[in-house]
Amino acid sequence: MPESMPDTTPYPLLRELSGELGWGLAMVRAVVLQAAHPQIAAALMDDSTFLTHPWRRLHNTMVSLQRLFDERSEVREREVARLNRMHARITGVGADGAGFTAMDPEARAWVHATLFESTVAMRRNSTRPLDWAAQQQLYAEFRLLLAAFGDDPAALPEQLPHFWPYYERMLSERLEHSAAVDSVLHRLLDTVPPPPLLRSQRSAWVAVRSIAGPIAAHITIASLPPTFRDRVRINSTVLSDVLMVGAYQGTGLAALCLPSVTSPWALADLLDAEDDQQPVAAVFGALLRGASALTSVVRTVRPNAAATATAATARPGREAAAWPAERFFTQVLDQTGDGTLGWPDLASLAREVACRLDLDAEPESAVYAAFHDWWQELSTALDADGDGVITMQQYVDGASTLPTPALVNLADVLFDATDSEHSGTISPEEYHRLLHTGFSHQLATTPDGDLTRAAFTTEFLHFMAGHRPDPAWEQLTADS
């Protein structure tokens, strides 16, 4: 019998271009354009952990892309199925009273359209434009990817020449200036926390970010299509244009000279470092402190800028609070950062667990159901006014008397999901998979290296009830 041929990725050009440093700029640009679509804007604002946990979101996105572009068809198909299940759960009612769903066909096609056009713009702005044949190939790959998700590829025009009129119509007629657009352009870029590798350099990070955040916003705005800027009334200045040209050409030069060092995949591996005391962390910390010193003159002239940036990132209770229940509420439960606890917060935790453990449909559903049962238990006990959310004060007042049956069941479900070998204990490797969030983890195992179900449940209950902080479980919900 002839040997079976190995699989090859059906997205070779897309995988190649997504490995360039400038693709990070293209991704931010695309997210702004996506956030202007009414369906996507509503979903982002209702499920806004991308603002409170950007590094975790980046890590998950990079892992997902690696799976989607994998040469093995079973890996690609498994990831597509996982993403479809995740998006099917993102539904709700927006601030305007209109319903939204992440499975909306037009919105899903628009995501692919913005990624394609932003990738083309990335190369054009970096003075290495794609020729017509490459653009056609890239467009065909995006339509193929859209079909792989089960969507009708006809949602995007079949031929590339017909794509551009469709794109202009979307920009000028369908998109809106939304709170989600402003959140990406300003709140996200101005308040992004330090990556895990640089957590020990928080003060230097805040100082640099007070300058770098507005610059990043200027670069993104200048790169947006003029039709879109006119539609949403966002102006680009001459300074913005200069900064944008420098940023794109700089990343293009870096991609040519140091492709293996500056690719998003290489940078993600660097940020994936688990110990902020490593030599590489010390080097980046020294560079960050140097950059911080350079901003001192600007901060002297504009003293309120750094103070505003610092205040914007400092969520109440982020540092050790005198009241453990307050600290637990802020750091663990309030995933969306809006000051209240609702189902979207616990759904975010369920989604994070399912993603990092790469669960199949059945155990994933069990995890979501267990978190939902706990939400019902919490809301029955604490949501006295019946408004569908729990405030910090409501939680603090009732934390000591909370019921626990649903929480015990959640511990059992998580143990079964993590114990992939069905050994009856969780090994350090399995525990690592559960706790490795966004680029950092911290193990807290029993002396023999494994956790029994009873030991796992005890630690989990103490932490999730807010009785005491636990470094390991805090990694589950860190702002990495």
CATH code for position 339: 1.10.238.10
Give a yes or no: residue 281 inside a domain: no
Question: Which of the given ranges, 22-26, 266-270, 292-296, has the highest pLDDT on average?
Answer: 22-26
pLDDT tens digits for 89-129? 988 887 778 888 999 999 999 999 999 999 999 999 998 99
Decide which of 210, 244, 278 is a domain's last residue. Answer: 244
What residues have CB less than 8 Å from 331, skipping those under 6 apart? 317, 318, 474, 477, 478
The token pair at 170 is 């979307």
Scan for tokens 């110990």, then name that residue: 275
Question: Which of the given ranges, 3-7, 141-145, 314-318, 358-362, has the highest pLDDT on average?
Answer: 141-145
> At residue 151, what are phi and psi to the nearest 5 degrees?
-85, 160
Same domain for 239 and 336, yes or no, is no
Rounded to whole angstroms, the Cα distance separating 18 from 20 reads: 5
> Looking at the predicted structure, is the pLDDT value of residue 443 above 90?
no
Same domain for 74 and 210, yes or no, is yes
Same domain for 75 and 217, yes or no, is yes
6-9-14 Cα angle (round to 5): 160
Same domain for 228 and 140, yes or no, is yes
Give a yes or no: residue 47 inside a domain: yes
The token pair at 421 is 């070998």
Give a yes or no: residue 258 inside a domain: no
Same domain for 232 and 359, yes or no, is no
Decide which of 244, 262, 295 is a domain's last residue. Answer: 244
- Read out DSSP for 335-388? TT-SSEE-HHHHHHHHHHHHHHHT--HHHHHHHHHHHHHHHHHHHHHH-TT-SS
Decide which of 187, 220, 244 is a domain's last residue. Answer: 244
Give a yes or no: residue 198 inside a domain: yes
What is the number of structural domains in the chain? Answer: 2
Domain encompassing residue 467 = 324-477
**To the nearest whole percent, how much of the chain has pLDDT over 90?**
40
pLDDT tens digits for 344-397? 899 988 998 888 888 999 999 999 999 999 999 999 999 988 889 999 999 888
> Looking at the predicted structure, is the pLDDT value of residue 340 above 70?
yes
Q: Which residues pair with 425 in a beta bridge?
A: 452
